[in-house]
Structure 1
């Protein structure tokens, strides 16, 4: 298949799915979400491991404010639809394959969501993680169910309120990152050598079982979507986003 926002490479039983929007700082738009969904559907039958990667300098920087700015400048109605992204992360968390986020560089906002939804997170020394949403009056509403499940309420709460990046060492200490090395490509290869041995049926049964043990992601979905729609519908928040794209100034700056 031909994609515009991702690159997909197959080395069965492994699929390498790269988020690829270098012109937009690897931000998330509706096309990227849909193309990731399509790629994951192709993985369901025979792929045992999905490796999610970004660019060397930025894994994923969250929502595409430039696209929101274009919509607002054109006078278009807000078309924020959080459910497809939440469903994509559910696929990463519950699908019949092992998901690995290979993080290099910046993972912000929705980028943290991709990592938190994955079964494993591997990273190099450049990786850093942040939730910047509250700076604009927004909330990481859809990220938090996945992040809380992974690192616990208080650490997710701290990351949300402080809005500043944490190092890969801190993320590793918290459990957001499972393993890290200076050069993470060798680390990834080492993990894949082991994971390639696992049979597809065993992985599928295991993922189905563990997700029956913890139904928190499905239970949180309606609250997450409602909170997301509320903050992105707030005209003050939309003005903050518009001004930031226009001027580069954060909301607290003159």
Structure 2
């Protein structure tokens, strides 16, 4: 029986009348292998960093410590907090550092099943996603934290000593790191929506007021209940949305030019 029209036949490495390269069990074995490699790398990075766990926590706490009144300090209200807070942070940092390797393993697993044009697009998007996530976390640490903690420490009553619990502080900053890291992925999400045809640049442009409002709603949900942190998340989110629209326009323009060239050649 002819296999003409079978989408598997046009995948890389497959020829007509030839079965898929690997059965399901082999794909599952490969997936398990790549997951184990990722876990091993995370564990190795964690073990390498564990000796510096207190230094890592001090670095993350620096934006708040620099703004505490003289004589104030952070405290631990639970018995295990002095151990668990640096331990938890070091584990998160290990995952953070290992993200490029983990994504590389994911890419190596799915790449053989992609067309060449899909590979050419997927890899830059993957790299951009990692860079944007790191950029969001860096923006939170170097821009948001100093402004936010300055506001918190200067608005309290004079007779109230600021002594933040180390575990509560860690949960607070990790939430912001994650929120800003994810928020900085907006250009990728916008670009993919336009590229896939799920929406158009014109349609998204008309929805700017709703997007602007939605950014502030998301900022309200993902950040502490204060206007400053909400605005510091919402405004960059909206600007990144506009960047995604810009790249969507450029890609659409390029596709239109390629389509016109193809029509000329066919004529």
Q: Give 1 or 2: higher helix fraction.
A: 2
Taking structure 1 as the reference length, what is the TM-score of the superposition? 0.21
Taking structure 2 as the reference length, what is the TM-score of the superposition? 0.20
Q: Which has the larger radius of gyration?
A: 2
Q: Give 1 or 2: higher strand fraction.
A: 1
